[in-house]
Structure 1
Amino acid sequence: MPRVRPPRRLHLPPTDFDAVIVGGGSAGLSAALTLGRCCRRVLVCSSGPPRNAASPGVHSFFTRDGTKPSELLRLGREELAAYPTVSFRDALVTAITPEPTTQGFTLTMAPERGGPDLTCTTRKVLLATGVSDDLPPISGMRELWGTGVLHCPYCHGWEVQGQRLAVYGRGKTGWGLVQLVSRWSRDVILCTDGPAGITEHGRQRLRRLGISVREEKVLRLEGTAKGQLKQIVFESGEPLTRDAVFLHSEQRQRSTLAQESGCRILKSGAVWTDKKGQTTQKGIYAAGDTTPAPQQAIIAAAEGSLAAIALNEALTREDCRG
Structure 2
Amino acid sequence: MKDTNVLMDVVIVGGGPAGLSAALLLGRSCRLVVVIDEGKARNSVTYESHGYLTRDGVKPSDFKEIAIAQMKAYTNVHIEQDVVEQVKQEQGIFRTLTRGGHTFSSKKIIFATGMKDHLPSIPGLTEVYGTSVFPCPYCDGWERRNEPLAVIGNDERLFHFVKMIYSWSKDLIVLTNGPSTITGEERREMEAHHIKMIETEILILKSNEGKLDEIVFSDGQSIPCKGGFLLDTGAKQATLIPSTMGIPMNETGGYVTTSDYGHTAIEGVYIIGDAKNSFTGVVGAAREGYYIGELMNKDLIEEEWDAHRTHANRHPGLS
Whose helix proportion is higher, 1 or 2? 2
- The correspondence for 1:289, drawn from 247, 266, 274, is 274
Question: Could you tell me the TM-score, scaled by structure 2's length?
Answer: 0.91
Question: Would the aligned equivalents of 2:50 and 2:140 in 1 still touch at CA under 8 Å?
Answer: yes
Secondary structure of 1:178 counterpart: helix
Same amino acid, percent of matched pairs: 34
Question: Could you tell me the TM-score, scaled by structure 1's length?
Answer: 0.90
What code does the residue aligned with 1:106 have? R
2:251 maps to 267
- 1:235-284 Cα distance to aligned partner (Å, 9 max, x none): 01521211112112221100111111111211221011212211121111
Deviates more, 1:234-243 or 1:65-74: 234-243
Superposed displacement of residue 16, structure 1: 2.1
User: In 2, Cα distance between the equivalents of 1:15 and 1:277?
Assistant: 26
Question: Would the aligned equivalents of 2:93 and 2:107 in 1 still touch at CA under 8 Å?
Answer: yes
2:191 maps to 207
Question: Would the aligned equivalents of 1:272 and 1:292 in 2 still touch at CA under 8 Å?
Answer: no
User: In 1, Cα distance between the equivalents of 2:226 and 2:166?
Assistant: 14
Change (3 A) 1:294 1:134: closer
Question: Would the aligned equivalents of 1:264 and 1:279 in 2 still touch at CA under 8 Å?
Answer: no
Question: Would the aligned equivalents of 1:221 and 1:231 in 2 still touch at CA under 8 Å?
Answer: yes
User: In 2, Cα distance between the equivalents of 1:262 and 1:51?
Assistant: 25
Deviates more, 1:192-201 or 1:285-294: 285-294
Paired positions, count: 301
Say if 2:225 is the partner of 1:242: yes
What code does the residue aligned with 2:178 have? G
1:158 maps to 142
User: In 2, Cα distance between the equivalents of 1:181 and 1:293?
Assistant: 20
- The correspondence for 2:40, drawn from 38, 42, 49, is 49
User: In 2, Cα distance between the equivalents of 1:15 and 1:50?
Assistant: 28
1:299 maps to 284
RMSD: 1.3
Question: Would the aligned equivalents of 1:193 and 1:215 in 2 still touch at CA under 8 Å?
Answer: yes
Question: Would the aligned equivalents of 1:174 and 1:190 in 2 still touch at CA under 8 Å?
Answer: no
User: In 2, Cα distance between the equivalents of 1:295 and 1:194?
Assistant: 30
2:172 maps to 188
Secondary structure of 1:34 counterpart: helix
Change (3 A) 1:278 1:15: farther
Q: Which runs of 4+ in 1 moved over 4 A?
A: none
Segments of 5+ residues of structure 1 without an aligned counterpart are 1-13, 112-116
Secondary structure of 1:264 counterpart: coil
- 1:186-223 Cα distance to aligned partner (Å, 9 max, x none): 21111001111111110111112221100001111111
- The correspondence for 2:213, drawn from 206, 230, 248, is 230
Say if 2:56 is the partner of 1:73: no
Segments of 5+ residues of structure 2 without an aligned counterpart are 311-319
User: In 2, Cα distance between the equivalents of 1:15 and 1:278?
Assistant: 25
2:108 maps to 124
Superposed displacement of residue 143, structure 1: 1.6
Question: Would the aligned equivalents of 2:27 and 2:77 in 1 still touch at CA under 8 Å?
Answer: yes
Secondary structure of 2:157 counterpart: helix
Secondary structure of 2:156 counterpart: helix
What code does the residue aligned with 1:107 have? T
- The correspondence for 2:95, drawn from 89, 97, 106, is 106
Question: Would the aligned equivalents of 1:42 and 1:86 in 2 still touch at CA under 8 Å?
Answer: yes
